[in-house]
C-alpha cells in the first residue's frame, strides 16, 4: 500500500498535458468580443449626456448636494474595482436597458432601453469600465457557473450549502457548508465543513467530516481570450470519524483549475490535483481529474435568468499498484433563483460508470449565495 505507481502517474501527467495543449490550441485567435469593438469616446458622450448627473464625472456619484435622491445601500462607486470587476457587462447592461428594478435595485436608476441603442449601451459600459484603474482584477465574466464537484478558478465571495444523497444502497448523505472569501485582486480563502450522516446496519451515525482549509491564487486571467488559471493548496485535518469515511490522517490537496469561456457562452472547467495524506498507510494517495462542460442560456439577449446545463466527468485514481481509475459522470443544471442573480441553485446526479462495485449513484444539490451582490433576503423582487 501507498507505493507510488510511477507508470500510472506518468501516463496521467501525459494525458493531462495533452488535454491542456489541445485546449490551448483551440483558443489561439479567440477573442470574446468580436461583434463590434466598443467606441469608448462615444461611450463618454453618452455618459456625459445621460448618466453624469447621478453617477458623477468620475463614476463615484455626483455630489449629494446636486442630487435629490436618497442613496440606496447598493449605490455603486464605479472607481471601486473590488465592487465593479465581479459584475459581468451583461449585469450592467440589464440594469441600463431595463432599469434598477430589473435586478431588484433602486427604481431611481432609470431604464434606457428606449432611449439608447444597443451599441450606445455597449459603448457606455466600455467607458464606465475605465473608472476602475487597476487592470489586475479578474473580470466577472470568467466567474463561470459553479459545478457541483469541479472547483472553479475564479476567486469568490460565496456561501454554499451542498448536499449529496445516496440514490441507492444504504441511506447516507453529506452536506458541505462552504465559505469562500476573496482577498485582494487574486486570492481566496476557502473553508469547507462537511456533515456526514449514514445508516450503517440500521445504526444511524452522524458526525462532522474532514474539514478543508484552502488558499487559492489566480495565476493568469484574460477577458480577451476568456481564460483563467488558478492554483490552490488545501489542508484537510482529520476532523472526521474514520467509520464515516474520514481520512484518519491529515491530507494535503494541491490542485490547478483552468476555466475557459467561449463566445457562444459555452465553457469548460478543468480541475486537476492530488490528495496527499501525511500517512499513506492509513489512506492512499490519489490523483483526481475533474472536467465540467456546459452552456449558459439566458433569454432576453443574455440579460435574463440564467440556465446552465452542464455535465461533469470525474476521475480519481489511487496511487497504489494495480489500482483502477474510477470514472463518474454527472449531468446537472444550475439556475439563477433571485432576481439579482445572487442566489443560485443546482441539482445533478452522479453515476459511477467504471469500477462500479460498491459505489452508489448520488443525487446532489446546492444553494449558493454570492454575498458581494446583496444580503440573502434582498434582491428577490
Contacting residues toward ligand HEC, per CB under 6 A: 50-51, 53-55, 72, 74-76, 87, 91-92, 95-96, 100, 105-106, 108-110, 112, 124
Per DSSP, helices labelled H in the chain are 6-27, 40-50, 52-55, 81-84, 89-98, 118-129, 299-302
Nearer to ligand HEC, 113 or 248 (CB): 113
Nearer to ligand HEC, 87 or 199 (CB): 87
Whole-number minimum distance, CB 142 to ligand HEC, in Å?
Answer: 17
Nearer to ligand HEC, 118 or 266 (CB): 118
Please give the Cα distance from 238 to 282 (Å, whole number).
11
Whole-number minimum distance, CB 314 to ligand HEC, in Å?
Answer: 35
Nearer to ligand HEC, 27 or 53 (CB): 53
Nearer to ligand HEC, 74 or 188 (CB): 74
Whole-number minimum distance, CB 181 to ligand HEC, in Å?
Answer: 20
Please give the Cα distance from 134 to 377 (Å, whole number).
32
Nearer to ligand HEC, 82 or 87 (CB): 87
Please give the Cα distance from 112 to 115 (Å, whole number).
5
Long-range (24+ apart) CB contacts under 8 A made by 42-48 are: 42/120, 42/123, 43/120, 43/123, 43/124, 43/125, 43/126, 43/127, 43/128, 44/127, 46/116, 46/120, 46/121, 46/123, 46/124, 46/127, 47/124, 47/127, 47/128
Whole-number minimum distance, CB 338 to ligand HEC, in Å?
Answer: 14
Whole-number minimum distance, CB 381 to ligand HEC, in Å?
Answer: 13
Whole-number minimum distance, CB 124 to ligand HEC, in Å?
Answer: 5
Which three cell numbers mark 376? 440573502
Amino acid at each position: 500500500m501507498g507505493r507510488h505507481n510511477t507508470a500510472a502517474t506518468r501516463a496521467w501527467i501525459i494525458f493531462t498535458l495533452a488535454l491542456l495543449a489541445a485546449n490551448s490550441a483551440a483558443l489561439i485567435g479567440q477573442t470574446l468580443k468580436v461583434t463590434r469593438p466598443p467606441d469608448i469616446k462615444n461611450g463618454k458622450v453618452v455618459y456625459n449626456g445621460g448618466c453624469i448627473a447621478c453617477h458623477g464625472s468620475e463614476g463615484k456619484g455626483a455630489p449629494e448636494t446636486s442630487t435629490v435622491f436618497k442613496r440606496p445601500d447598493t449605490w455603486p462607486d464605479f472607481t471601486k474595482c473590488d465592487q465593479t470587476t465581479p459584475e459581468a457587462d451583461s449585469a450592467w447592461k440589464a440594469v441600463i436597458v431595463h432599469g434598477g428594478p430589473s435586478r431588484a435595485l433602486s427604481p431611481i436608476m432609470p431604464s434606457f432601453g428606449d432611449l439608447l441603442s444597443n451599441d450606445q449601451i455597449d459603448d457606455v459600459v466600455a467607458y464606465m469600465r475605465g473608472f476602475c484603474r487597476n487592470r489586475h482584477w479578474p473580470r466577472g465574466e470568467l466567474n463561470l457557473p459553479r459545478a457541483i464537484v469541479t472547483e472553479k478558478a475564479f476567486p469568490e465571495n460565496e456561501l454554499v450549502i451542498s448536499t449529496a444523497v445516496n440514490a441507492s444502497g444504504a441511506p447516507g448523505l453529506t452536506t458541505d457548508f462552504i465559505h469562500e472569501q476573496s482577498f485582494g485582486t487574486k486570492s481566496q480563502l476557502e473553508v469547507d465543513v462537511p456533515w456526514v450522516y449514514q445508516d450503517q446496519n440500521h445504526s444511524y451515525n452522524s458526525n462532522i467530516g474532514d474539514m478543508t482549509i484552502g488558499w487559492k491564487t489566480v495565476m493568469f486571467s484574460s477577458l480577451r481570450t476568456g481564460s483563467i488559471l488558478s492554483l490552490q493548496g488545501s489542508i484537510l485535518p482529520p476532523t472526521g470519524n474514520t467509520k464515516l469515511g474520514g481520512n484518519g490522517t491529515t491530507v494535503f490537496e494541491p490542485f490547478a483549475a483552468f476555466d475557459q469561456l467561449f463566445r457562444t457562452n459555452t465553457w469548460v472547467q478543468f480541475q486537476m490535483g492530488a490528495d496527499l495524506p501525511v500517512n499513506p498507510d492509513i489512506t492512499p494517495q490519489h490523483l483526481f481529474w475533474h472536467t465540467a462542460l456546459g452552456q449558459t442560456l439566458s433569454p432576453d439577449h443574455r440579460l435574463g435568468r440564467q440556465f446552465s446545463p452542464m455535465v461533469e466527468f470525474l476521475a480519481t485514481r489511487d496511487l497504489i499498484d494495480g489500482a483502477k481509475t474510477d470514472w463518474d459522470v454527472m449531468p446537472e443544471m444550475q439556475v439563477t433563483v433571485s432576481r439579482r442573480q445572487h442566489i443560485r441553485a443546482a441539482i445533478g446526479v452522479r453515476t459511477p460508470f467504471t469500477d462500479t462495485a460498491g459505489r452508489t449513484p448520488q443525487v446532489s444539490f446546492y444553494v449558493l449565495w454570492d454575498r458581494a451582490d446583496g444580503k440573502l433576503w434582498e434582491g428577490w423582487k
